[in-house]
Amino acid sequence: MSNDNTTAGDNHVIIFDTTLRDGEQSAGATMTHDEKVQIAEALDEMKVDVIEAGFPIASQGDFEAVSEIARKMQFSIVAGLARAVPGDIARAGEAVRHAKRPRIHTFVSTSPIHLQHQMRASEDEVVEIIEKTVAQARGLVDDVEWSAMDATRTPLEYLARCVRQAIASGATTINLPDTVGYATPGEYREMFEYIRRECGDDVVYSTHCHNDLGLAVANSLAGLEGGARQVECTINGLGERAGNAALEEVVMALRVRGDRLPYTTGIDAKQLVRASKLVSVASGFQVQYNKAIVGKNAFAHESGIHQDGMLKHAETYEIMRPEDVGVRSTTLVMGKHSGRHAFKTKLKELGFELGDNALQDAFRRFKDLADRKKNVYDEDIEALLEDQIQEVAERAKVMSLTVIAGTGGPQKAIIVMDVEGQHITKEATGSGPVDAVFNAVKAIVPHEAKLSLYQVHAVTEGTDAQAEVSVRLEHNGRIESGRGADVDTLVASAKAYVAAVNKLQARRRLHAQAEAGADSTVAAAE
């Protein structure tokens, strides 16, 4: 569990997630009740210290979501946001009262521009509001957070006066947000240092940074250096305007750069990608491909130089392991920048082992394709090698087929095949005519593959339609497909099955040839 009394002298950082409140305020990102609860459960499981579940006064739906989340969380503190208005605070208190660890988070503007144009109140009047509303919140719960909205554009002397009043009225956490993303890291750190000197370290100080200038995470880390020990952030950096500090970036920055940022969190980082996907689906906001930590390309490499380095030693181009954040593995993206080393490795993953000459030819054709095609998929690479496999694959052909089917017992198939110039006849039975045909083929060309797909398509119309059959065989994780066409569906089935078996065995022979070539190279070297 987190230390709820964390102060500047401690190194533990409280992670306060506001995805369900500030994140949902992103234009167009409204979430359903069930989606909010699902995300909250994921955050709780991930060991987020504080979940700001919503703004209870905003709507009945928000109130109900905060209430249900408060009841269900097993680990996290559950906070409800409230303006410095008695009705807001009472509503927030009602929403979080069933939580094991409830918090009311109340805020008021403090900057001159907000006081003049939004609050229409004097500095003294705002201090009186702080005194009354923080005291009201403290009368409802023991854990009260107070925020100075637009703190970074508030004169420091007045900001300190407001903070002192909030602490005197019972606030246990003081949040100094960069509400409009205006601050730079240096001045944000200095603000915390000043407020701590003036107001003491008996409370937890918190950051809340917006990303209008792209500095949200940098400012949050600077706030920690200034003595803050809570960071308010969101999954995927979701939030008003340009968003908030991204939780996943803050957590991994502290983990990877502990040498310069000697702070710890209790977050289970292996669940970061899962949480990112949940929020992306619920909000309808796709995560940008190059998003740090959780983006599709965060652990993907296309440059030949990078791929070569990665294959030799992962730390050459990755500062963290993909599995540490819940990504299965690094991805070597095949494209025009890929090198021979990565191409050879990709072929091996796909089940192809080629000799030097065949590899050189395949790599040349791959480069030609990559120049014409933006994305080169595994299927594209396999297609490049189909011609070569097909040349080796014409080992067996269907010559004739007789099938005896009906209701009188097991179905029977008699097939004649040409196997490397030799005609072989076999008879087999099966539970149906197709099964009997496949068993007859297997009697001539034995294999251990399993049938994973059998499809019949009518190419032309009428009772004499040309039938096209697709067959897919799977063995040791490899899949081979075959197609056959004939006016007789069973003959088409036999041709498709034989085509798939031929490919399966051709790939096996190519693999054996490559191994034999490697062995001879080693022997020559010895």
Model pLDDT for residues 387-442, shown as the tens digit of each residue: 455 555 567 888 999 998 887 778 899 999 988 889 999 999 988 899 999 999 99
More confident residue, 405 or 359: 405
Segment 456-475, tens digit of pLDDT: 876 555 555 566 777 878 87
Do the domain assignments include residue 517?
no
Q: What is the pLDDT of residue 214?
A: 96
Of 391, 406, 437, the residue at which a domain comes to its end is 391
Q: What is the pLDDT of residue 453?
A: 84
Q: How far is 148 from 236, CA to CA, in rounded Å? A: 24
Contacts 24+ apart (CB under 8 A), 347-352: 347/381, 347/385, 350/378, 350/381, 350/382, 351/477, 351/478, 351/507, 351/511, 352/385, 352/507, 352/510, 352/511
Six token digits for residue 252: 């991994």
| DSSP calls for 186-212 | HHHHHHHHHHHHHH-SSSEEEEEBB-T
- Give the closest residue to 147 by CA, choosing from 115, 199, 105: 105
Average pLDDT estimate for 497-520: 69
- Give yes or no: residues 237 and 382 share one domain: no
- Give yes or no: residues 338 and 447 share one domain: no
Q: What is the pLDDT of residue 111?
A: 92
Determine which of 120-124, 300-304, 417-421 has the lowest per-residue pLDDT on average: 300-304
More confident residue, 329 or 342: 342
- Give yes or no: residues 463 and 416 share one domain: yes
Q: What is the pLDDT of residue 123?
A: 92
Q: Are 133 and 182 in contact (CB under 8 A)?
A: no
- The distance from CA 6 to its chain's CA centroid, rounded to whole angstroms, is 31
Residue 64's CATH number: 3.20.20.70
Q: Which pLDDT band holds residue 364 (cuts at 50, 70, 90)?
A: confident
Of 283, 318, 334, the residue at which a domain comes to its end is 283
Average pLDDT estimate for 345-358: 69
Segment 368-399, tens digit of pLDDT: 776 776 666 665 666 666 545 555 556 788 89
Q: Are 426 and 444 in contact (CB under 8 A)?
A: yes
Q: What is the pLDDT of residue 297?
A: 66
The secondary structure element, H or E, covering residue 396 is strand 396-404
- Residue for token pair 């939580």: 99
- Give yes or no: residues 484 and 381 share one domain: no
> Partners of 396 in the beta sheet?
419
- Give yes or no: residues 117 and 237 share one domain: yes
More confident residue, 466 or 36: 36
- Give the closest residue to 452 by CA, choosing from 418, 480, 425, 424: 480
Do the domain assignments include residue 125?
yes
Average pLDDT estimate for 293-317: 60
Determine which of 41-55, 98-112, 113-127 has the lowest per-residue pLDDT on average: 113-127
- Give yes or no: residues 360 and 387 share one domain: yes
Do the domain assignments include residue 522?
no
- Give yes or no: residues 385 and 402 share one domain: no
Do the domain assignments include residue 5?
no
* Buried residues in 20-47 as b, exposed as e (16+ CB within 10 A): bbbbbbbeebebeeebbbbbbbbbbbbb
Segment 209-222, tens digit of pLDDT: 999 999 999 999 99
What average pLDDT does the structure give for the chain? 84
Q: Are 272 and 292 in contact (CB under 8 A)?
A: no
Give residues with Cβ within 8 angstroms of 106, minimum separation 6: 81, 82, 83, 84, 88, 89, 92, 133, 134, 137, 144, 145, 146, 147
Number of domains making up the chain: 3
3-state secondary structure of 249: helix
Of 391, 413, 444, the residue at which a domain comes to its end is 391
Q: What is the pLDDT of residue 410?
A: 80
| DSSP calls for 401-430 | EEEE-SSSSSEEEEEEEEETTEEEEEEEEE
Q: Which pLDDT band holds residue 170 (cuts at 50, 70, 90)?
A: very high
Do the domain assignments include residue 70?
yes
Q: Which pLDDT band holds residue 526 (cuts at 50, 70, 90)?
A: very low
Q: What is the pLDDT of residue 309?
A: 60
- Give yes or no: residues 424 and 373 share one domain: no
Residue 3: is its pLDDT beyond 50?
no
- Give yes or no: residues 229 and 344 share one domain: no
Q: What is the pLDDT of residue 343?
A: 74
Q: What is the pLDDT of residue 498?
A: 87
483 burial class (0-12, 13-18, 19+ CB within 10 angstroms)?
A: middle
User: Highest mean pLDDT: which of 306-320, 363-377, 433-447?
Assistant: 433-447
Do the domain assignments include residue 1?
no
Q: Which pLDDT band holds residue 302 (cuts at 50, 70, 90)?
A: very low
Residue 523: is its pLDDT beyond 50?
no
Six token digits for residue 350: 């796909």
Residue 86: is its pLDDT beyond 50?
yes
- Give yes or no: residues 50 and 105 share one domain: yes
Q: How far is 56 from 256, CA to CA, in rounded Å? A: 37
Q: How far is 113 from 428, CA to CA, in rounded Å? A: 89
- Give yes or no: residues 44 and 189 share one domain: yes
- Give yes or no: residues 320 and 416 share one domain: no
Do the domain assignments include residue 104?
yes
Segment 268-278, tens digit of pLDDT: 999 998 999 89
Structural domain of 366? 300-391
Residue 495's CATH number: 3.30.160.270
Do the domain assignments include residue 410?
yes
